[in-house]
Each structure stands twice: as C-alpha cells, then as structure tokens.
Structure 1
Amino acid sequence: MGGQSEKSLSQDGVMAAEIPSSGETSWSSDAERKLVRKIDLFLLPSIWLMSLFSWMDRANLGNANIAGLTADLGLSSSQFSMAVITYYFGYIIWVPISTMILARTRPSLYLPAIMMLWGAVTCGGAGVKTYPQLLALRVLLGILESGLSPGITYMFSCWYRPDEIGKRVSTYNTSALVGGAFGGLIAGGVMENLEGAKGLRGWRWLFLIEGLVTIVVSVAAISTLPDIPATWGRLSPEEKTIAMKRLQNIGIQVNDSGKSKPKLGVGQCVVLALKDWRSYAIALGAGFISAMLIMAYFYPVLVRGLGYTDPVKAQYMTVPIWAVGLVFTMASGFVTDRLPHWRVPVLASCLLLSVIMAVITCAVYNFKARYVFLALMTGGVWAGFTQGIAYIAELFQDVPPEQRAVTMGLMSVVGSTGNVYGAYLFPAGHAPKYLVGFGMVAATGAIAAGSFLLIWILERRKQRYERR
C-alpha cells in the first residue's frame, strides 16, 4: 500500500487534498472511510441510547412533579428545587474520579456498568415515600451518571478528527432532546393509562418503567460500545493502525495502550489540567450554558404556566419545544462540520438567539407568543451546548489522553455548578411570568457566548503566531 495516500487537515481545520505519505504507514481514503463508517455504526447508536436514558432518568423528576410527586410527598417549591440540585452534588463529587477510571479501563464495560446501576436507582424512585429518601436517590443517581457525558466527549476525542466531530456530536446530543420529548409522551401516556394501577400513582410507574428499560439498554451496550482504537477487539490490526495514525498525523495525542509512554498519574493529570489556561475559560462558558439547560427540568411547569393547566396536556405540549431544539442542534452540526474553523461563532450566535428570545419573553405576556419564544430559546441553547461539546472535544486533542479525560471531568464539575443556582430560577411563586428566571437565562447566555469567543480569538492568535 506504499503508493497510496493519506489525508491531513489544513491549518484552518478543513480537509486538505490527499498528499503522498512520507511515513511508514499509509492507507487509501476508501479504507479510512470504511473505518469511520464502522466506528459510527457501533459508537453512535450505543452512546445515543445511553444518553437518551441518562437524560430521561435525570429529567423525569420534572414530569413527576406535575404528575403528583410534590403533592404526595408534601414538597414545597424550594424542596423540589433542592431535589433537582442534589443530583449535581453527587455529580460534582464523583465526575473527576469517574473520568479517570474511564481513561484507565474499558469504556465498553465501565459505561454500561454505571448505566445498569443508575437504572436500578431510577426504579428505586418508585418506592420513595419521604423527602430525605428522594434526596438520597438523587445524589446516588448523580454519582452514577457523572461518568457518561464527559466519558462520551472523551471518546469522541479518541476516535474522530476535528472536521468529523460536529455532526456526530449533534447526532449524539439529539438523544437528550428526543429524551425530553419522548419523556413527555411517556409521562402523558403513563398518567392516562397507569394512574392508580396496582395501587400505584402514575409518577411511580414512570420511574419504574424508565428504570427497567435503562437496565435492558445497558446490557445491550456491553456488546456494541467500542473501547479506544488501540484495544477495540472489532478492529483488525490494520484498522487499529489507521484509527490511531489518522489522528496522530494531525497532532492529536492518542492512547496507544501504554506502548510508547507510561500513563500519567491522577495527580499529574490534575496539575496539568489546572495549568492549562483554556480549562478556565471553557469551564466558565460551560457553567453558564449548564445554567441555561436547567430550564429543561421546568418545561412542564413553564408550559402549564402558559395556560395549559391540564397536567396530561401540559406533558404533551413540551414535545414541540424539544422538537425545535432537535432541528437547531442537527442543523448546527452540519454547518460546523463544513465550516469547522467557525464552530465557535456559530455556537455564540445560537446562544445569542436564546438571549434575545429570553429578553423578549420578559416583555411579552401573550401566552401563545411566549410558547414560540420558549421553543426558539430552547433551539438556541441546545445548539450552542452541542457545539460547545464539539469544541471542547476538538480543543483538547493536543494533550495526553489521561490529562484530556481529567480536564473534561474537571470542566464538568465547574459546569455543573451552574445547575445548582439554575434550579432556583423558576420558583412557583414567580409564575406565570418568571421574569427573574428568563432574565438570568439572558445574562448567562451572554456570558457563555463571550467566554467561548474569547478563547476562540486567543487560540487563533496563538496559531497564527506559531505558523510564523
């Protein structure tokens, strides 16, 4: 194959023309395309389903809220908000440890294992009888789910080139949007058909059904989820070489299973991550986007405040909002893979759309108009969030894999703190206008957009300087 050619990325991140190989390993573009299709075939469906049920099991508290959970447990508005944020207490505590474990173990076993456990915890929600029990389950759920999102971002960085990441991250992130819409449909169906069945309230059935399906999916994921390129058993030796070399040839550090360098220790990774100034700017932006995403927990409540007072109809009316988010998310991915160097301006534009919609929502009180603004706000937030994940996966491909995993874990810690105060943005006493909540969404969106734009500008200057 010595006469065949390799592909490379140009300095601005777009696919360059094929160039002759000067190294020991070369391959055809057709072989690379087949490899990428194979990776897609196993990785994308696996992480999509895992993320789908992660989001549903995390956000079903919002559906259970208007299905009778707060009334049955005697919860106040502030207690419900505390139940939302205790998830993030567990998440923040465990996420750095979880990502480091992932970098040193087999993702095909570790991620399905934690999924199976959080599915069992979700089932346990059907038996909750007191407020402290609910808080304990939410903390445990946060601990178990903490490894999934940064773990998936880490896996994207291990398998894909920068010009391939955008639409794949968008595809993956639609799982949360479909999960939100599907969760609303399931909640509506459960409330219509299972309320009181076998002596159980509908919200208890909701936890039980979603938890059991999560466990089934986790078992299936064991046989389909890939490991890293150097160790995935479904790749031939030649495919493993291509998978690693195609990234190494454009400066991406690859985990070669310890053959060339010893793995970094946890302490070393933490120090290196904290020394990298990019971590702080990205963490700031991620934290404020997370605060915007907390709206998802309150969609059923926000919709009910727009005049859809029937609980079942309120559940169903959340579906179009999630659908708009899905369209925006997919569109942003296809745009940024064609213009990878402009990923951050697209991200910032989407966030600024949400800012504008939030400001208008504060000034307009017509329910139908506010519903449209809420849908567009959701589209901008989720598209911005998706491209943020893609940019993070791309930005830190130049550091050792273990450091990359810990960096993403630490950023998830900081990012998740936004959910803590975000959970108090839409208290029941502020209905139906929620001026403070939408005002904070506008402010956090503007800061997040500014943070990502700042690091993008500084990185471009650094690249221009290095090319001189």
Structure 2
Amino acid sequence: MNPESHTVPKTDNGDNIEITTEVKNPARNIEDMTNETRDEKYEETVLPTLQPPEEKIFKKNLIAKVDRRLLLMLVVMYILACLDRTNIGNARLAGLERDLGLTVDQFQISLATFYVGYVLLEVPSNIVIGKFTPSKWIPFLMMLWSIAICCMSAVRGFPDLVVTRFVLGITEAGFAPGSIFLLSMWYKRSQFALRFSIFFSGSVLAGAFGGILAYLIIDVMKDAGGLEGWRWLFLIEGLCTLLISFVAFFVLPNFPENANFLTPKEKKYLVTRLSKDDGSLHSPRRHKEFSHRGLLMAIKDWKVYHNMISGICGGIALHSITLYLPTLIHSMGFNAMQSQLLTVPPYLFGWIFSLMVALHSDRTKERSWHIVASTMVAIVGYVGLATLESRVAKYISTFFITSGVWSMIPLKLAWFLNIHSYPHDKRSIAIAMIITISNCSGIIASMLYQPKDGPRFVKTNVLIASLLSLTVILVIFMRFMLHRENEKMNSLAVKNNTPSIDKGDLRTVNVEKTAKIKTHDEMDVEKREHEASEDANGRDPQFRYIL
C-alpha cells in the first residue's frame, strides 16, 4: 500500500495540518511485534514533538519525579504497615504471651485473626477506592490501623488481643491492593516489576530492621511508666504510623490527569502514554465510579481464578518465611538474640536479588520465565531446609528462599496487572480478588510450623516446595494460553487489515494542532469508529500481552 497524505481543512488561524499515514502489510513482522517497539514508535510519532535527546531527558526526569512523590511515599507507608502487622512476634519474645497468660494455640489464633479481617475487606476496599480518591482513602486507612496498633498496647487478655488484631486486619486490608492499583495507574506495564519490587522492599526492610528496632524500644522503655516493654512497642510504632498518615494526606497524589505536582505538559504526556500502553487510548481512563460491568468481567474471567490459585501457592511461601524466619534460624541452634540478628543478611540479600531480577524483567519485557526461575530458586531453599544436616548449609538455604520468594511475588503482581490491565474498574476488582485469596495463605502459613515438627520441619518445608512446584506449572500454562491469545489478536489484525505501530507502519500526527480543530461531533464519530474495532475486552486492537 502506498503512503497517503491527507490535508485537514484550515483552522481559524489559517494553518494547514497534514496527517501522513504510511501503512504496509499488517501481517509483516507481526509475530515479532513487541509492546516496547509499538510504544517507542508511538511516543516518537504521536506525542508532542521533542528531539530524541530532549525526549529521553524529559521522560527520565518525569518518571524520577513520579518515583519521588508517589513510590517513595508508598514505600514508607508499607514499611510501617509491615512493622505494625509483624511486631506481635517481637512482643511475644518480650513477654506478651506470658503477661497475658496465652497458650501457644491462642497466640496462633491471634495471628490468624489478622488475616481473617484482612481478606474480608480487600475487595470492598478496592470498590470504595473507585468512589473516593486514593490520596484520601489510603491515608485514612493508615490512620485507622495506627489507632488499632495503639489500642494493642492496652490489651488485658486473649479476647482483647483477638479483637484488636481483627480490627488491624480490617483497616490494613485496603492498603496493599489500593497501592498496587494506584501504582498501576502511573506506570507502563513494562515498568511494573521494578516499581513493585521497590514497593515490596518495604516488607524486606521491615523484616530486616524491625527486630533490631523492636529490641531497642523494648530495652529502653521497659517498665517506663509502669508499662511492659512490648506495650511501649505497640504504642510508639502506632504513633509513628499515625504521624505518617497525616503526612500522606498532603503528599500522596491521585492520578496523572489531576496531579497538582505535574505541569500540564507532563500530565498530557503521561496520560497519553499510559492510555496507549494499557489499551485505553481512545477511551477515558475511568476511576471515579464503580462499575458493575467491571465486577462482572472480573468474576467471569477464568484467568482471575487461575491467578488466585497461583497467588495462594506463592503466598504460603511468602507468609511462612516472613512469620517464621527467626524460628527457623533458632531451630538451627542459635540463641534468641542471634536468631534475630541473623535474619538481617537473608532479608538484605533477598531484597538486592529481587531488585536485580525485576530490573532485568522490565528491560527484557518478559515476565513468565523470570517468575519460573525465581520460584525454582525458592524451591532449592526449601528442599535444602528439609534435607540438609549442616547448620551452615541450612542457613544458606534461607538466602535461596528469601531471594526466590521476594523476587517472585512482585513479578507475579506485575504479570497479573498485565493480564488484567483493562478496563480499569475490572483491573481494580481483579487485583483485589487475587490478593484477597492470596492473603488467605497467611491464615494457613500461621499454622504450618508446629513445635512438634521441629527442629527440621521436614513435612512443612516439603509441602511448601511442592506448592511452589505447582506455581511453576501454573505459570507455564498461563504463558501458553496468553501466547495463544496474542496469536489470535495477530490473526484478527491481519483479517481486519488493522495497522500496527511498528517499524513498517508509521502515523505522524501533530497532537497539539489536531486537538484545536476537532469538534465534539468529530470526536464522537472517532470514538464510535474505534469502539467498533475494539476487541471483546474493550482494548485497543494493538494491545498484546507481555509474556
């Protein structure tokens, strides 16, 4: 097909705007098409004209600006969330169990009740986030759980502890899925893995230094004001969380199109770029109202349930190592203080490893094989714990577990959001459903490592290794199915003669000038024409899954 040149009628100021469309055979190189190629070509041709060096600097500075304002704030909030949910383990070492007269079973029940409240409110919270702005809803949740933590400093027995832990679970429930949804509205799909790894580094940092911080608070404040050290731990960490929640009310942004820290040019650039990436280029990025259509789409999608199973398998590994790493190290023959300190190296090593894997995954625009490789690393660690006798070898196995698990989880979330990227109301519900079921694994994990199975915990470690092996199978199956769907979309593109933004297909449009001459009727016609060409899920025809 020969290049065609169309001249748009003159505008009020007499300018002619020429739109050049060069469309070659859409079947050409379609199998080799990648989201990166389409996005880069799109950004070069459709976004406001910038010279290549200027555009590169502009993009780099803009993403760094978003990272500083959004990502950094969420990481700080997540660190505090993880400290608040896990400091009960430190309080146990400081005498909480003894002072409240708890049995081992009662303590484990108090751990599990947090996850009961957590899973009950995750989906409703992500529905509510569509009615209220994230910049208000997420800090509001943080304020509520900080109050719950402060109340834990006043518990007098098992019933009080169970109630406060349940309330803590309810109030924390919306934070993680809400934060993940908010991050997904600011970054391209190819940027998810690294950002999610940085976000989840809050859990790693809380695990690495939470024990040391707790020890210092308990040691310094013990018996101050007639209160036990563990009560001061809950009170001080709760007040710190309350303070940060007030800061978050003023710092946390909503969405790119209404962010007050961006210039109009930056807003336009981000919105257009992100809309193209998730397949909603010609449709409004809706997030202000809950849509029953999105809920029904999530419920009917088999991929949501597949990812739920995969999520709960990985979640059991995540929660078990988070809750019981000090116990596992203590079972190797180290004393209580040594066990707390020896958790730091595996946490830090796993954190660095996860960032490296995520960075490589984003750069290569590949998810599934990175998830498989990370999961295999964790499997090696659990098999090592179950079979090795040497204390040093068993300790080294914990490095494999933290590295594999903490690199696998962010990659899976990035992939889930790629799979359920559009429409946005479906994305919000789907990710909440997946995380809800995944967090049910916390209830299971809290019951796994029984004292009677120590010190090797062979059955538990083999069970977790088996669940991770199932995860590998599920990921490979999903990759196969998504590849088939991509092939179907490629075939449909050929059948409908749909041009793709690739090296062979070029569309040059001056967005600034075109926007000035379009009437409402013209835009309405364009919207109807585009909707007629969208696929069954409402995506742009050029959308493809990242494998």
Same fold (TM over 0.5): yes
- Equivalence for 2:447: 424
Are 1:151 and 2:151 an aligned pair?
A: no
Q: Tell me, yes or no, if the aligned pair for 1:358 and 1:438 is still in contact at 8 Å.
A: yes
Which of 376, 384, 387 is the equivalent residue of 1:363?
387
Q: Tell me, yes or no, if the aligned pair for 1:57 and 1:211 is still in contact at 8 Å.
A: yes
Q: Tell me, yes or no, if the aligned pair for 1:95 and 1:146 is still in contact at 8 Å.
A: yes
Which of 280, 291, 301 is the equivalent residue of 1:276?
301
- Which shifted more, 267-276 or 284-293? 267-276
- Equivalence for 1:390: 414
Which of 433, 458, 461 is the equivalent residue of 2:481?
458
Letter in 2 for 1:456: R
Which of 412, 426, 432 is the equivalent residue of 1:403?
426
1:327-367 CA-to-partner distances (Å, cap 9, x unmatched) read 121111111011122x1211111111111221121111322
Q: Tell me, yes or no, if the aligned pair for 1:91 and 1:145 is still in contact at 8 Å.
A: yes
Are 1:14 and 2:36 an aligned pair?
A: yes
Question: How big is the shift at 1:273?
Answer: 0.3
Q: RMSD of aligned C-alpha atoms?
A: 2.4
- Equivalence for 1:185: 212
Question: How big is the shift at 1:384?
Answer: 0.5
Question: How big is the shift at 1:42?
Answer: 0.5
Which of 307, 320, 325 is the equivalent residue of 2:333?
307
Question: Given the superposition, is the C-alpha separation of residues 245 and 154 from structure 1 closer, same or farther in structure 2, using an over 3 Å criterion?
Answer: same
Q: Tell me, yes or no, if the aligned pair for 2:384 and 2:393 is still in contact at 8 Å.
A: no
Question: Given the superposition, is the C-alpha separation of residues 104 and 230 from structure 1 closer, same or farther in structure 2, using an over 3 Å criterion?
Answer: farther
Question: Given the superposition, is the C-alpha separation of residues 123 and 22 from structure 1 closer, same or farther in structure 2, using an over 3 Å criterion?
Answer: closer
Letter in 2 for 1:433: R
Which of 210, 223, 233 is the equivalent residue of 2:250?
223
Letter in 2 for 1:26: P
Question: How big is the shift at 1:379?
Answer: 1.4
Where in structure 2 are the equivalents of 1:61-140 lying within 5 Å? 61-140=88-167
Identity %: 25
1:157-191 CA-to-partner distances (Å, cap 9, x unmatched) read 21111222221111111111001112111122234
Q: Tell me, yes or no, if the aligned pair for 1:230 and 1:257 is still in contact at 8 Å.
A: no
Letter in 2 for 1:354: A
Q: Tell me, yes or no, if the aligned pair for 2:316 and 2:442 is still in contact at 8 Å.
A: yes
- Equivalence for 2:438: 415
Question: Given the superposition, is the C-alpha separation of residues 428 and 66 from structure 1 closer, same or farther in structure 2, using an over 3 Å criterion?
Answer: farther
- Equivalence for 2:316: 291
Hey, what's the Cα distance between the residues in 1 that align with 2:377 and 2:40? 38
Where in structure 2 are the equivalents of 1:41-56 lying within 5 Å? 41-56=68-83
TM-score normalised per structure 2:
0.79
Question: How big is the shift at 1:257?
Answer: 6.5
Secondary structure, aligned partner of 1:294: helix
Question: Given the superposition, is the C-alpha separation of residues 440 and 240 from structure 1 closer, same or farther in structure 2, using an over 3 Å criterion?
Answer: same
Hey, what's the Cα distance between the residues in 2 that align with 1:374 and 1:20? 45
Greater radius of gyration (CA) = 2
Question: How big is the shift at 1:63?
Answer: 1.8
Q: Tell me, yes or no, if the aligned pair for 1:61 and 1:297 is still in contact at 8 Å.
A: no
Q: Tell me, yes or no, if the aligned pair for 1:300 and 1:315 is still in contact at 8 Å.
A: yes
Question: Given the superposition, is the C-alpha separation of residues 449 and 22 from structure 1 closer, same or farther in structure 2, using an over 3 Å criterion?
Answer: closer
Hey, what's the Cα distance between the residues in 2 that align with 1:114 and 1:20? 39
Which of 305, 323, 331 is the equivalent residue of 2:348?
323
1:123-180 CA-to-partner distances (Å, cap 9, x unmatched) read 1111111111111111111111111111121112211112222211111111110011
Question: How big is the shift at 1:268?
Answer: 2.9
Are 1:354 and 2:381 an aligned pair?
A: no
1:366-393 CA-to-partner distances (Å, cap 9, x unmatched) read 2222111122211111111121122122
Question: How big is the shift at 1:246?
Answer: 0.4
Secondary structure, aligned partner of 1:159: coil
TM-score normalised per structure 1:
0.91
- Equivalence for 1:438: 461
Hey, what's the Cα distance between the residues in 1 that align with 2:334 and 2:185? 45
- Equivalence for 2:189: 162
Question: How big is the shift at 1:54?
Answer: 0.8
1:279-332 CA-to-partner distances (Å, cap 9, x unmatched) read 0111111111111112211222222222222x3333222212211221121111
Instruction: Structure 2: give runs of 5+ residues left out of the alignment.
Output: 1-16, 19-31, 492-547
Question: How big is the shift at 1:17?
Answer: 7.9
Instruction: Structure 1: give runs of 5+ residues left out of the alignment.
Output: 4-9
- Equivalence for 1:204: 231
The count of residues paired between Structure 1 and Structure 2 equals 456
Secondary structure, aligned partner of 1:120: helix
Hey, what's the Cα distance between the residues in 2 that align with 1:387 and 1:22? 28
Hey, what's the Cα distance between the residues in 1 that align with 2:119 and 2:42? 47
